[in-house]
Amino acid sequence: DSTELPISINELRQVKLKRFRKPGAIACGEPIYASEDYETYVDASDEIKADFCLTAKGDSMIGARIYDGDTVFIKKQPIVENDVTLKRWFYYPDKNQLWLQAENSKYKPMIYEGEDLNNIRCLGKAVCFTSNL
């Protein structure tokens, strides 16, 4: 005997899809090379306010519930040459320092200061992620 939950047709809505560029992977650990080939795409809800997405590689962001293989959606927000890593971003202008902090206690912060800051570029802000079950 199955129990069915009544759903009003007024409660249903169509999910509109948007195609997101997926240039490769984003490191959740040590930085990795980011390909500039945008040949792969992911279709996801158009309610995700992002410009592109990347596949998470590694375990440094598990404290934020982002696991290896998850798709992370990124909104462009300028503020790594070809190295890409997903971390919490802490900038201290008074010390001229940038700390990239993992969400896994087994990883130490990546600290950049002075001239090293010239080699860092933020590609954007992670705004959403999806996981495979």
Q: Say how far apart CA 66 and CA 107 lie, in whole Å.
A: 15
Query: Residue 123: what are its φ and ψ, rounded to 5°?
Result: -80, -25
Tell me which of 35, 87, 106, 131 is the catalytic residue: 87
Those residues whose C-beta lies under 8 Å from the C-beta of residue 41, and which sit 6 or more positions away, are 19, 20, 21, 22
Is there a catalytic annotation at residue 125? Answer: no
Tell me which of 60, 76, 108, 131 is the catalytic residue: 60
Is there a catalytic annotation at residue 60? Answer: yes
Q: Say how far apart CA 120 and CA 81 lie, in whole Å.
A: 7
| DSSP character string of 77-92 | -----SEEB--EEEEE
Residue showing tokens 């320092």: 97
Catalytic center residues:
60, 87
